[in-house]
Structure 1
Amino acid sequence: MRITDDCRDCLLSRVQFQAALCTEDKGTIEEAQRAARSLLDTIWNDDVPAPVIAGAVHRCCYRTVGSTDPYRTLKYKDTLAARDVVAKIRPLISDFNSAVCAAVIGNAMDYGVLGHSISEDFTNYFRHEFSKGLYHDDSEEIAKLTRRVVYLTDNTGEILFDKILIEELKHLGAHVTVAVKDAPILNDATLDEARDAGIEEVADHLTTTGGGAELGINLDLIPPDLASAIKKATLIISKGLANYESLSDYSNLPPVAYLMMVKCEPIARILGVPKGVKIARLIR
């Protein structure tokens, strides 16, 4: 997926948000915004997926404010909150389909989209969304393809809901390779957060998507173990918007199950669904 005009204001708003997480100095925040805007204007027409452009803009902001992980405190808080929520809602998860729904609801733990916020009472939010179910649900078809799975995670906190789904995948007899970000970008999960969440306890293999602080996934930068896992996979489970924006640009992949809350208009238009809905869509 290529970047759209809708993406500009969203991306620059996230630059302001994350700069303010690092400093109260208005001059530094404004400098980060100017640098990000200048870079965005320079690379706007590059023929690359949207996450490549967005990732470069975020890294520019990080350099300007002097932080490699602006979301560190928020990630810690989200992990604590998610543990509490999972303890309360775990009895609701009884099978693969309900685990898919739970993992999609977890995708709401996201700071990367203008206009989207995380509920302060995530337990009640989860219960409400769980009762509604998914707007589009290909869980039954997805379950048939789970012999060898590559699971591309998204946000910290969210991965505790992913852990539930990985457990259900193992119950189905799946071999599961989980890939997290190689370095901090937004509030995406890295190896540190994945290990803290206990992903190594349930997955067969834990790796990264490579490339450092990259949004989504760039198949030209992935490490050899992930490349091998994708080559052998019968299914890729892709969490979140940036992974969709990345993978939708590639062909000759195994079937991909896109699990996400559709938080922005460009992706809603491409998928033909309303903004704000939850989907588990299988694309072969």
Structure 2
Amino acid sequence: MIISPACIPCIVKQSYTLSRLLGVEDENLQSKIIYETMNLLLEEKDTPTAPHFSGKLQSIINKNLNGTASFKEMKERNRETAEKYIKYLKTMVEASTDKLETAIRISITGNTIDLGANPNFDLEREINIITSNQINLDSLGLFRKDLKKANRILFIADNYEEALFDKILIEQLIPKEVVFAVRSKEILNDITLEDAKSLGIDKLCKVIESGSTISGTAMEQVSNEFLDYFNNADLVISKGQGNFETLLNSKRKIYFLFKIKCEPIAELCGYPAGTGLIYTNN
């Protein structure tokens, strides 16, 4: 989807938020990062989607921190927080009369963890409302039909920490063949190949790098391997708003699982910001 005017102040705000998260306390340096971000927005007005700015924004911050910017420590802290709930969530699935629906709700809830759009997330609150109507599953019936016919599933991942929640869904998709696609570069708290292996996802299914180096899936960057799976998989599942923004206009059918983080996406989807949903573009 194209960048909305409402995305522009959001990107500028994100430059400030991320610099603070990465330990920039000097107000002059914070201002410098913000001004450089504003210049980038002016210079690259034709950038196709907001997630395409993510890598460039991280590069600006990294340059101003002399190459030391890394979200690794935050990712590990958030992983520790997420891991506290996994046993409980697995028990929830086992006790459910509809294991697939419960696992989908859990996977969507994991998308709450977002250092870019929602750095002050409240994971415990979100877990407490997993079964509430704040997660919209209008497309679940269509998903079940397509899943029943599918043999190979491409699962396009998003954040590192939420992948713990995605594992619970993947366990419900097996014995279908699942291919788990991750970013090819560390960007914000998105999951990389190394991250996926540290979570043991490679023990569950095949893991590949997509080739994308933005906080979404840039089809102009993807590898031939990813493109082959994308075109030929029987079912494609996409996690997170960044992947939604970059893949929404794809000609192939995709099921998007994510939490709506902003008003432009809320207006597009027809649900309030904060809603979790399974959404299909076809």
Could you say which residue in structure 1 is the equivalent of 2:249? Answer: 249
Helix, strand or coil at the partner of 2:170 = helix
What are the Cα deviations for residues 152-195 of structure 1, in whole angstroms up to 9, with x where unaligned? 1111210000011111110xx31111111111111111112211
Q: After TM superposition, give the deviation of residue 41 of structure 1 in Å.
A: 1.3
**1:94-109 maps to which residues of 2 (within 5 A)?**
94=94, 95-109=99-113
Could you say which residue in structure 1 is the equivalent of 2:176? Answer: 174
Larger displacement relative to structure 2 (89-98 or 25-34): 25-34
Using the aligned pairs only, state the percent identity. 26
* Runs of at least 5 residues in structure 2 that lack an aligned partner in the other structure: none
Structure 2 residue identity aligned to 1:197: L
Do 1:111 and 1:187's aligned partners in 2 also have CA atoms closer than 8 Å? yes
Structure 2 residue identity aligned to 1:188: D
Q: 1:125 to 1:231 in 2, by over 3 A?
A: closer
What are the Cα deviations for residues 50-104 of structure 1, in whole angstroms up to 9, with x where unaligned? 3223432333233232346532221011111111111222111141111101000
Q: After TM superposition, give the deviation of residue 233 of structure 1 in Å.
A: 0.7
Q: After TM superposition, give the deviation of residue 271 of structure 1 in Å.
A: 0.9
CA distance in 2, matches of 1:124, 1:88: 14
Q: TM-score, normalized by length of structure 1?
A: 0.89
Do 1:69 and 1:185's aligned partners in 2 also have CA atoms closer than 8 Å? no
* Runs of at least 5 residues in structure 1 that lack an aligned partner in the other structure: none
CA distance in 2, matches of 1:246, 1:183: 17
Could you say which residue in structure 2 is the equivalent of 1:117? Answer: 120
Could you say which residue in structure 1 is the equivalent of 2:204? Answer: 202
What are the Cα deviations for residues 244-277 of structure 1, in whole angstroms up to 9, with x where unaligned? 11001322x2x21110111110011111111111
**1:57-96 maps to which residues of 2 (within 5 A)?**
57-67=57-67, 69-94=69-94, 95-96=99-100
Could you say which residue in structure 1 is the equivalent of 2:153? Answer: 149
CA distance in 2, matches of 1:153, 1:68: 26
CA distance in 1, matches of 2:276, 2:240: 10
Structure 1 residue identity aligned to 2:120: S
Could you say which residue in structure 2 is the equivalent of 1:140? Answer: 141
Runs of 4+ in 1 over 4 A off after TM superposition: none
Larger displacement relative to structure 2 (62-71 or 153-162): 62-71
Helix, strand or coil at the partner of 2:168 = helix
Could you say which residue in structure 2 is the equivalent of 1:164? Answer: 168
Q: 1:176 to 1:228 in 2, by over 3 A?
A: same
**How many matched pairs?**
274
Do 1:33 and 1:61's aligned partners in 2 also have CA atoms closer than 8 Å? no
Helix, strand or coil at the partner of 1:237 = strand
Do 1:52 and 1:215's aligned partners in 2 also have CA atoms closer than 8 Å? yes
Could you say which residue in structure 1 is the equivalent of 2:187? Answer: 185
Do 1:19 and 1:65's aligned partners in 2 also have CA atoms closer than 8 Å? no
What are the Cα deviations for residues 1-52 of structure 1, in whole angstroms up to 9, with x where unaligned? 11111112211122112222143333322221121111111112x0623322
Computed over aligned residues only, the root mean square deviation of the Cα atoms, in angstroms, reads 1.9
Structure 2 residue identity aligned to 1:196: S
CA distance in 1, matches of 2:28, 2:34: 10
Q: After TM superposition, give the deviation of residue 151 of structure 1 in Å.
A: 0.7
Do 2:159 and 2:189's aligned partners in 1 also have CA atoms closer than 8 Å? yes
Q: After TM superposition, give the deviation of residue 124 of structure 1 in Å.
A: 4.9
CA distance in 2, matches of 1:258, 1:69: 30
